[in-house]
Amino acid sequence: MEKEETQINIKDKILNEIQSGDISMRPRFQFTLRLIALSALTFFILLISVFILTFISFSARISHHDELLGFGFRGFLAFLLVFPWFFLIVDIILIFLLERCLRNFKFGYRFPVFYLFLVLLSAVLIFGLGLDRGTSFNDSILERREHLPRPIGNFYNQANRPMIKGEGLCFCKILAIGNKKLIVEDSRKGGTVIDVLLPNDLPLEIFESLTIGDTVLIAGQERDGVIEAFGIRNIPNMHLERLEIREQSIYR
Amino acid sequence: MNKDDTDITDESIVMLVQKGDKEAFGLLVDRYQNKLARYGRKFLSRVEDIEDMVQNVFISAYENIQNFDVTLKFSSWIYRIAHNTFVNALRKNTKSFLTIDFDTLLSHPVYDDPDIKEREQKEMRVLIDQGLEDISSKYREVLVLHYLEEISYKDIAEILQVPIGTIGIRIKRAKEALREKIDQKKI
């Protein structure tokens, strides 16, 4: 009996409040607007994450850091050393945010969290790398950076990153070639001349391809101003101009 | 249309409400207030003002009714609102700011066998009566929804907005936890 009365009370109370206007329906457009805003935010976060990833890839390419990966395990470690971790962490945070946004949609919460995160990470990786390696998107932004809005222009000014000083990684200009040894001008130290000991297992064709005046990427261990190289690679001429631009701005 | 007609679906009533028939909302209150109160009482075993909370659920449902897509199930939608209301009430008491639900991380196989379910249903209702209060709210909720409210895994997944595999694993763990608590009581 008491239960029935409570039931009637709730119903009457609610209907009275509805009739008196104390409770009212929110108009449909509010929900539509919210959905549009959420979709736009999700899309925006997706764009930014792809943009950051494509920038990381571009930065590794234009700085020739990705070529360290061709120097075996030690090259891989050197690559990790010069990798822009900050950008990657920001990107992962954005992918987490993206995942949170997608959970508001039906297709989002039906997937297990970890799988959805992996799908998003893969999508961002594929689009980001594809945009950099498959199109000239980043190259054209770099060329037009002076005419672009300042934040983007400044961002791209940082694309060409130097090697870390004192870590045995450098872009150097060959001054002389000896037996198992090079004398180079170190661009990191404003043109200091240093010795580079070549690796014993350096393929002959690479050694023969080196000529005086070439700019080379050297990876090795630096001790007392001498680099014991474990990897050396010619930098193609097409990138030299960019390197010089970057170095001028670094050492200015 | 006769509003006392029990054949009329929830979704049709919602359509009437969306078109401005305020009285029709009373039918939905009639249909769901007992169910929601029972769900709330079992889920929030230590919270007393269930009637107020159920009222808030209906108020929220009315305010947001234009957001309901009538091609979907109204029951899942209103249970979703109730779930949010009850979880907020729980949070007020527990002060947990950030929780990671590991059940939702990976996929889990689902076995929602109707024959096993029928056999289990009676047994579980007895067990739930004996020890529901002693298990965590996360597990309590799925047991209440599945065994007392007789809602399918798929619909519970819609209500809680988690993958269906998560419901399967939660119910499995909830049953284990419940049996363990009851065994402890017996000792």
pLDDT in tens, A1-21: 455 555 667 888 999 999 998
Q: What's the whole-number mean pLDDT along residues B18-25? A: 92
The domain limits of chain B are: 10-93, 102-186
Q: CA-nearest residue of chain A to B157?
A: A110
Q: How far is B104 from chain A (nearest CA, A)?
A: 5
Residue A138: closest CA among A251, A60, A225: A60
Q: What's the whole-number mean pLDDT along residues A156-169? A: 74
Asked if pLDDT for residue A90 goes beyond 60, the answer is yes
Q: Average per-residue pLDDT in chain A?
A: 84
Of the candidates B26, B58, B66, which has its C-beta nearest A26's C-beta? B66
Reported as a single tens digit per residue, the pLDDT across B160-183 is 999 999 999 999 999 888 888 888
Specify the amino acid at residue B4.
D
Q: What's the whole-number mean pLDDT along residues A150-175? A: 78
- Please list the residues that pair with A220 across neighbouring strands: A229
pTM over 0.90, yes/no: no
Reported as a single tens digit per residue, the pLDDT across B126-163 is 777 777 778 888 898 999 999 888 899 999 999 999 99
Contact A15 B23 (CB under 8 A): yes
pLDDT: which is higher, B105 or A225: A225
> Could you give the CA distance from residue A138 to residue A117 in angstroms, rounded to a whole number?
26
Pairs across A and B, CB distance < 8 A = 74
Backbone angles phi, psi at B95, to 5 degrees: 55, 35
Contact A115 B51 (CB under 8 A): no
Contact A10 B54 (CB under 8 A): yes
Q: Does B19 touch chain A (CB under 8 A)?
A: no
Of the candidates A14, A19, A114, which has its C-beta nearest B59's C-beta? A14
Q: How far is B144 from chain A (nearest CA, A)?
A: 21
Domains B10-93 and B102-186 share a fold: no
For residue A173, count other CB atoms closer than 10 A to its CB: 17
Q: CA-nearest residue of chain A to B156?
A: A110
pLDDT at A237: 55
Label residue A146 by pLDDT band (50, 70, 90): confident
For residue A214, count other CB atoms closer than 10 A to its CB: 17
Q: How far is A126 from chain B (nearest CA, A)?
A: 23
Reported as a single tens digit per residue, the pLDDT across A39-61 is 999 999 999 999 999 999 999 99
pLDDT at B104: 67
Q: Hey, what are A177's tokens?
A: 């070639």
- Long-range contacts of range B30-39, CB-CB < 8 Å, 24 or more positions apart? B30/A7, B30/A11, B32/B58, B32/B75, B32/B78, B33/A7, B33/A10, B33/A11, B33/B58, B34/A7, B35/B149, B36/B78, B36/B79, B36/B82, B38/B144, B38/B148, B38/B149, B39/B79, B39/B82, B39/B86, B39/B144, B39/B145, B39/B148, B39/B149
Q: Which range has the worst mean pLDDT, A84-93, A103-112, A230-239?
A: A230-239
Q: How far is B105 from chain A (nearest CA, A)?
A: 5
Q: What's the whole-number mean pLDDT along residues A192-215? A: 85
pLDDT at B99: 58
Q: CA-nearest residue of chain A to B155?
A: A110
Q: Hey, what are B148's tokens?
A: 């007392």
Q: What is the CATH number of domain B10-93?
A: 1.10.1740.10
pLDDT at A24: 92
Reported as a single tens digit per residue, the pLDDT across B70-84 is 999 999 999 999 999
Of the candidates A14, A28, A109, which has its C-beta nearest B66's C-beta? A28
Q: What is the CATH number of domain B102-186?
A: 1.10.10.10
